[in-house]
Amino acid sequence: MDMEGLQEKLVPAFEWFHRHPELGYAEFETTARIREILAGLGVEILDTGLETGLVARIGNAGIRSGKPVVALRGDIDGLPITEDSGLPYASETPGRMHACGHDFHTTAILGAAILLAEKKATLPGTVKLIFQPAEETAGGAAKVLATGALDDVREIYGLHVSPDLPPGQIGVSPGATFAAVGGFKITIRGKGGHAGYPHLTRDPIIALGQIIATAQSIVSRNANPFDPSVVSITHVEGGNTWNVIPPEAFIEGTIRSLGTEKYKCIAERLGEIVKGVELTSGTRIDYTWNMSSPAIDNDPALAVFVADTAQELGLAAGPSIPCMGGEDFSLYQQRIKGVFWNIGIGGAEGIHHPRFIAGPAPLSSAASLLARLAEKALVRLSST
Ligand code: NI
């Protein structure tokens, strides 16, 4: 199918997905629509037990044939945002919006399915197509992995739209392009009392202030200036009036770092700061942190493979623009070599904004690149 024909097929599907955004693990209509389109192409849907989202398979290799398997991943969920784009195909549901381009990703994977289904008989292996639920709530990738449907996959490719790149331009870089992301909670237990008699208290507010101020020294003094990281304190509680020192105070925030190990170092350093303040303030402090998704970790050789393949298709390719947001595609990369690349969509507003628009013009380019990557990866893997 030529690019124009493909684009004509994809735009109505994209507009349908855009009109019908659903939140993580509630993507029932979306999943039904994907099933319907795949069934029309004669593509096999695997029995994974996923309630929303699905994994499909194209290729003539049997599971035990020894022929390689690669995967393409798109995410399908929307966000709890009321759309204000003014598009004729805007969301039909108030408080629900495809504001992160997952409608674009879903359609691009379907476009790759159209192209790969045409070549089914000659593919030297199998391509698995992942329509992942619940990326925004960071549980979807783990759920797909837990089905075992990807156990035989040797390489994986995924995409994300980028408003920061010109429409159709491919952004791809080795290593971390999306951050390791997570949060921390700190509860300070002191001893409350009269604000005029601080010597009779263990003031949790002073401890809170010291932690906030010192936490900012981690990125500025402990992290390598060439390794981007962020510590943001976003929620503070303590006390409720002017003349009482409260018994307790609370701090919450987020850590982001373009590297999973660096993230852990920052989280541990914050723990040391908390310990120090605990000692000097005479309070008792509970500190917990988590990492909801590790950093994207693009295989360097495969990143070059993506850029070269894009150029073969006549697409402009440059580095990706690193992002302090998280992406649970990184969970697949902990098990399977792969690359998460960007495609430019232009647009005035960033992702997660009520006026965000993922222009559909580069859909056929995205689909062609996905299909070509899968095909070339199978050829390469079957000859090694
Ligand atoms: Ni997204």
Q: What is the pTM of this model?
A: 0.93
CA of 42 to the centre of ligand 1 (A): 28
Over the stretch 163-214, which tens digit does the pLDDT of each residue have? 999 999 999 999 999 999 999 999 999 999 999 999 999 999 999 999 999 9
pLDDT for position 140: 97
pLDDT for position 62: 58
Over the stretch 325-365, which tens digit does the pLDDT of each residue have? 999 999 999 999 999 999 999 888 999 999 999 999 999 99
Distance set, CA 260 to CA 182, 297, 335 (Å): 11, 9, 15
Over the stretch 95-109, which tens digit does the pLDDT of each residue have? 999 999 999 999 999
Categorize the per-residue pLDDT at 1 as very low, low, confident or very high, splitting at 50, 70 and 90: confident
Structure tokens at 92: 């039909």
CA of 264 to the centre of ligand 1 (A): 24
CA of 81 to the centre of ligand 1 (A): 14
CA of 119 to the centre of ligand 1 (A): 30
CA of 66 to the centre of ligand 1 (A): 34
Task: Give the Cα separation of 143 and 63 in Å (integer).
Answer: 22
CA of 346 to the centre of ligand 1 (A): 16
CA of 139 to the centre of ligand 1 (A): 13
CA of 323 to the centre of ligand 1 (A): 11
CA of 47 to the centre of ligand 1 (A): 26
* Residue whose C-alpha is closest to residue 156's, from 224, 233, 72: 72
CA of 195 to the centre of ligand 1 (A): 48
CA of 43 to the centre of ligand 1 (A): 26
CA of 286 to the centre of ligand 1 (A): 33
CA of 227 to the centre of ligand 1 (A): 23
CA of 36 to the centre of ligand 1 (A): 24
